[in-house]
Amino acid sequence: MRWQRVNNYLLMIEPGIEVYLTPELEKTLDETAVQQLVNASLLPGVHKVLALPDVHAGYGLPVGGVMATRTKDGVISPGAVGVDINCGVRLLATDLEEKAVTKKETRERLLAGFRREIPAGEGKNGVLTLPERDFRRLLQEGPRLLVERGWGEGRDLRVTEEEGALPGADPSRIPAELLEYGRKQLGSLGSGNHFVELQVVEEVFAQEAAEVFRLFPGQVAVMIHSGSRRMGNGTALHYVKEVCRPAMKKYGIDPPHPDLACVPWRSPEAESYWGAMAACANYAWANRQTMAEKARQVLREVFGGGFTSWTVYDVAHNIAKIEKFGRQELVVHRKGATRALPAGDRRAPAEYRKVGQPALIPGSMGTRSWVITATPEIHRTLNSVNHGAGRVMSRTKARGKKTEAALITWEDFYASTKEKGILVASGTGSDLRDEAPGAYKDSDEVIRTMVEAGLITPVAALKPLVVLKG
């Protein structure tokens, strides 16, 4: 595999795969991720494959990867969507100022409240179990059902990608045992890199957009990062292993790697997967809606009723969508990538259309998160931006094992969190060194890559103060 540098922000991998990386970030590009991009480019009907600066090896397609296939002669690949369907991010802003959270005691109360009200960790059940009939409606309509019942407000839907409901959802396409997991886990965080984070707006860069989004320096906010839990994970693996792999022989498809199992877009198997994926995506939006309401509850307990809060936006990553670019209708697989719509795009919420849709890019527990907007040049990446900083080491290497020392020491961990005044806790008391900032790329350098490429405009940077991890 060969690649060459085109300029200070772009590499080109044969055969024509764009990778957005500065020379500094190029050091983090591993051969496995490169091979996965090449593998994806060889699937039937591929229009374009590219990678964003958070790229690292994943399941099938790298995290930070985008693959677009033509609807007329292309395929859909569950592995290229990801195994946590619609893992995504919601930003809840308030009119509270930083002085409200300067006392450590206040931050400790907030962290304790998040731990109490928002179940975190692998296998944990949620906070809201709906009757089966209502649950199936939620899978079809997303968080609208919750808003109708007092879990949020109507505006939350307007500032959620797809208004929280991807068309074509069909709960019957999800295996029954996974449906029951989903019904029990609504309103739970999960494990891994999922988090609830109290943040403060540290800096504003684009005043007009910040005013439209109602963001200001010193503002207190809550960011939530989670997905579709066990139901989404199990559904993705079911369609890779039990549906697409057996079906490929029938269609004469032989992918370079079995994790990129795929089926023609115009096939019964694709229709079935889409129905299941859309239902899991709608569930993920509802899951974040539920946790946002729990976060609001914690804020009210600590600060009383003397403040207001609002959803800035909710973005998905790990999702496939049908989108048009010129005359081409494409199935755009975003695996650890976020859709970003520039100013004037009619798919953006009406109140944001003047400046463009806010895209949310979380940091890594001890580093800044970002709100950005896309420039008109974003069409070069099929309206896609990175979804975070991106890992530079595996979880095992970060934590170590019996035969290998940990690459992230506890001293490193505390220096990047506690010594900065950041309160961190795991919902299950697990070792969090694999989520330390040192296990990730420099989020500021990742953002700089996209700025230098002319693809985004930073709006605001937010620093972490309190972090609940799975």
Structural domain boundaries, residue 428: 3-469
Given a cut of 80, is residue 136 above it in pLDDT?
A: yes
Domain of 193, CATH number, reads: 3.90.1860.10
Q: Kindly report which listed range (78-87, 331-340, 434-443) carries the lowest average pLDDT score.
A: 434-443
Angle at 156 between CA 83 and CA 272, to 5 degrees: 35
162-184: per-residue pLDDT in tens?
A: 999 999 999 999 999 999 999 99
Given a cut of 70, is residue 157 above it in pLDDT?
A: yes
Exposure string of 346-360, with b = 16+ CB inside 10 Å and e = fewer, is eebbeebbebbbbbb
Given a cut of 80, is residue 20 above it in pLDDT?
A: yes
> What CA–CA distances, in Å, run from 87 to 41, 186, 194, 277?
24, 14, 9, 12
**Of the candidates 99, 44, 73, the residue with the CA atom closest to the CA atom of residue 329:** 73
Residues classed as catalytic: 387
Given a cut of 90, is residue 93 above it in pLDDT?
A: yes
Predicted pLDDT at 1: 56
Amino acid at 385: V
109-124: per-residue pLDDT in tens?
A: 999 999 999 999 888 8
- Whether the Cβ atoms of residue 265 and residue 331 lie closer than 8 Å to each other: yes
User: Looking at the 3D structure of the chain, how many domains does it have?
Assistant: 1
| Partners of 338 in beta bridges | 385
- Of all residues in the chain, the percent with pLDDT exceeding 90 is 85
pTM of the shown model: 0.96
- Whether the Cβ atoms of residue 253 and residue 44 lie closer than 8 Å to each other: yes
Given a cut of 90, is residue 35 above it in pLDDT?
A: yes
Region 135-140: mean pLDDT is 98
What's the distance, CA 38 to chain centroid?
Answer: 23
Predicted pLDDT at 273: 98
How big is the chain, counted in residues? 470
190-201: per-residue pLDDT in tens?
A: 988 899 999 999
Predicted pLDDT at 420: 87
257-316: per-residue pLDDT in tens?
A: 999 999 999 999 999 999 999 999 999 999 999 999 999 999 999 999 889 999 999 999
